[in-house]
A and B are shown apart, each in its own frame.
Chain A
């Protein structure tokens, strides 16, 4: 759950290129950061605990920090607390080798014991530090740096994206296994990073590395060797994202920007896929997909999208179930010829990758529903459907959740046996405008202000709105650090009602006027009787205004799209609560954007 960066061929700009990359990768983790450069002055390293800003001020004081090749790292702790020592890059005993790493080396204890026994001393508590010492051992044995690096990598078990520099060698050595790693190709320079935004300002040509690949980046160019040890010539692809897509554009936080980007993101998601007058849904990339039964696997926000999607599929006659991917990987249910749908914004979520891999091993057909073209999940699965939300930087997922919900509607219509639901197609075409109407007219900020001192927040909803309630609570706890719970409204009286007091606002998503809505109104009356303030997110059809303290309105629409609109109000409620509490909205403590470790 870290970010790595490296570059060769940048000359005097090497340090600034690395710092720029780190700032773009900060969303991946941010409890410490560091850089290593190799130049005529030898190997120089600077690293420090804290955000990138701490490293920036530290490197500003170092006039010896120069070089023509370099690597950098931003860390989110998995082994050992965030300290200067535990920050990457890590070095060998002699200070000739520096390594940055994203992932987990599972056999590091054995390797460490072995290296310690042969005289190596370790400065940190990290798993990573075994790598530079292994390389050092290879150099001591008389091998050249590339050979020493390859031998070291061969000893490692676990997941890693590694980048290594060696004193006296104008090259960066790179290896990948189960952790994201991409090369950026420019005329004079070559970059590597965990994710494209790190070098997108410099080039749009990229090479996605495969598991088992080892690459060597030199001023003369780059070369890749595959898992079988033979040279490989992977395709150079062009990414479409604009570097400036990742700026804050006048908003206080990326999260707020991304919330406001939802109309545009949903237009992208729907473009060319819905033909309202012709009554048709097309998902070009899924032409040959037939599904009898579906298992949706996901974690976090994506899991809530999966819960929502599974309901849609079941209503459309496709037996479907949502599973937490980390549970699915270790305790899979009977497959029964199910198609396994991995739902992951980044396509790199280690837990969900483990689940789709488990499914593949068991012979299941797999489908990736992701935002990231070229991601590991997109490449590994048999089919892929993109949600086309554009880059998302805020750790709390917003527009990508709406994108997942929308894409799942399309998928469900595409897989349904019966005729398409024309009312739904019209509602989907209206969706971007409806989201805009919610953004224009929301009272979420005032509601957030009212309940800033709440002890806890409860979110309830039935049927499709259950998934929304769960997601609303997750958003709230992620960024406000307040306790929040979301669940099916019917569960209230089976336990949580005991916690409901006048200091615990209950947020209820009530849309339409069907049985689910009427029953949710019943649940609202239950909490009302306990003196809890109630906030209703409603289209006004269930006549719920009489029982509640605040109303967050959404336009009247199809029940399926109502669940997308209701969620927008909950995003805004969580955002404004967090912003008023002064939380670091885009980078909540202990969390990282794409969870690339299991």
Chain B
């Protein structure tokens, strides 16, 4: 059965990505040189879908402004989820606006084309779920499959007796909307896996084993992992200068700067003399990299400004972050606090959220999170978490 319509759920904020999601949904965070969601749309277009409907909500302007009315000539339309009450609720918003059958997936994961193609191919009118082998099923939705049939779907199971996870890629006919209406909300939210549960009660749900890239962006350090994976797989949309070195035409890189592959330099970027950029670095558009700067395992979103002699290692920087002369993000591993939990020994030097301004001569300890619009004065030794808009002085 031929599916031509895609529904992409891109309305949630992604609270575990805070403070990077201060002004944008996590689907718009950078995975290499493009937002996560752009990789998702690329896959849908490559798989031949003819219409894509995006469910948007939190900071939806960012999504709409970036993608506009079409992605690679495939029409995009938007439907608004006013309150973010779960992925099932998000799909309900698209009901009536799309002609089933539909392919449904989350906009916050970078997935391989094979995963989507596998689900599209297996779909025969009955609800179909993509499954995928994963080393840590206990962190995701674990599934059991018996002869192409989904027999069990458990969110974050405690025991380790699972090998497959729910890839979060689904094909549905019109029955899904009715099933969603009949599914009870939990804690006020309606999640897609619960809707799948209703469909399983109603009859058969198919599951198809797929294979390929599946990169979840849940925590800030995931962005560094995604960057490395995407560069290694050469999923970069910039002119290739040499093996694993991509430099946009409008970028200016000084002759004495060194680009160590893999590395991506975006449009309008300026890299000054003596800078060493890479490996595993993406400098987003319009960034300014000062003289003798060192960047290693880092993702810098658009408009960042790194002062002369600064070093950023294992670092995620949001938009328009400024780092002063001679400052150092020394690199992981470090302990990171996310939503009240401590994650130990993560390979994260620091997260600098949108428009954070770090002065000159600042030393940033591993695992530090600096909030959006925060200001850090000259010469500070920084560790822990800096709140949005806070000012830190020595």
Contacts and interface: CB of A to CB of B under 8 A. Distances in A.
Contacts of B77: 250
Contact of B75 (A244, A245, A261, A432): A244
A462 interface: no
A430 interface: yes
B68 A260 contact: no
Contacts of B23: 440-441
Interface of A: 242, 244-245, 247-251, 257, 260-261, 263-264, 267, 270-272, 275-278, 429-430, 432-434, 436-437, 439-441, 555
A440 B23 CA distance: 6
Nearest to A245: B68
Interface in B250-288: 250, 252, 254, 267-268, 270, 272, 285-286, 288
Contact of B61 (A267, A429, A439): A439
B320 A429 contact: no
Contact of A249 (B68, B254, B272): B68
Contact of A275 (B69, B70, B252): B252
11 contacts: A251-B64, A267-B267, A267-B285, A271-B250, A272-B268, A275-B252, A277-B254, A277-B270, A430-B320, A432-B303, A433-B302
B65 interface: yes
User: What are the 3 tightest A-B residue pairs by CB atom distance, in nearest-first order?
Assistant: A250-B78, A247-B69, A433-B303
A249 B69 contact: yes
Q: Interface size bucket, B side?
A: 35 or more
Contact of A276 (B65, B67, B75, B270): B270
B382 interface: no
B60 interface: yes
A267 B78 contact: no
Contacts of B78: 249-250
A136 B364 CA distance: 83
Contacts of B267: 267, 271
Contacts of A250: 54, 56, 60, 63-64, 77-78, 80
Contacts of A260: 61, 64-65
Nearest to A271: B250
A432 B56 contact: no
A143 to B, nearest CB: 46
Contacts of A276: 270, 288
B355 interface: yes
Nearest to B61: A260
Contacts of A555: 355
A263 B302 CA distance: 11
A267 B60 contact: no
Contact of B320 (A245, A249, A433): A433
A496 B60 CA distance: 41
B109 interface: no
A249 B64 contact: yes
B141 to A, nearest CB: 29
A399 to B, nearest CB: 11
Contacts of A436: 319-320
A211 B254 CA distance: 48
Contacts of A275: 252, 270
B251 to A, nearest CB: 10
A439 B319 CA distance: 14
Contact of A244 (B63, B69, B268, B320): B69
B355 A249 contact: no
Contacts of B250: 271-272
B68 A244 contact: yes
Contacts of A263: 65
Given A245-B69, A277-B270, A429-B286, 9 more contacts: A244-B70, A249-B78, A275-B270, A276-B270, A429-B288, A429-B303, A430-B305, A434-B320, A440-B59
Interface centre among A245, A249, A270, A271 (most CB of B within 10 A): A249
B320 A267 contact: no
A264 B69 contact: no
Nearest to A263: B65
A590 to B, nearest CB: 29
A554 to B, nearest CB: 13
B321 to A, nearest CB: 10
Contacts of B75: 244
A432 B301 CA distance: 13
Contacts of A248: 69
B191 to A, nearest CB: 25
Contacts of B69: 244-245, 247-249
B65 A433 contact: no
Contact of A264 (B60, B65, B73): B65
A260 B60 CA distance: 11
B268 A271 contact: yes
A439 B64 CA distance: 14
Contacts of A278: 252
Interface centre among A244, A430, A555 (most CB of B within 10 A): A244
Contacts of B61: 251, 260, 439
Given A267-B285, A275-B252, A277-B252, A430 B68 contact: no
Nearest to A264: B65
B314 to A, nearest CB: 24
Contacts of B65: 249, 257, 260-261, 263-264
Contacts of A267: 267-268, 285-286
A278 to B, nearest CB: 8
Nearest to A246: B69
Contacts of A440: 23, 59, 354
A339 B76 CA distance: 46
Contacts of B354: 440
A267 B354 CA distance: 18
Interface string B234-262: 00000000000000001010100000000
Given A249-B68, A250-B56, A433 B270 contact: no
Nearest to A434: B320
Interface centre among B60, B75, B355 (most CB of A within 10 A): B355
Contacts of B302: 432-433
A238 to B, nearest CB: 16
Contacts of B285: 267
Contact of A257 (B64, B73, B76): B64
A12 B272 CA distance: 60
Contacts of A432: 286, 302-303
A98 to B, nearest CB: 34
Contacts of B355: 433, 437, 555
A245 B71 CA distance: 11
Interface string B78-93: 1010000000000000
Nearest to A275: B252
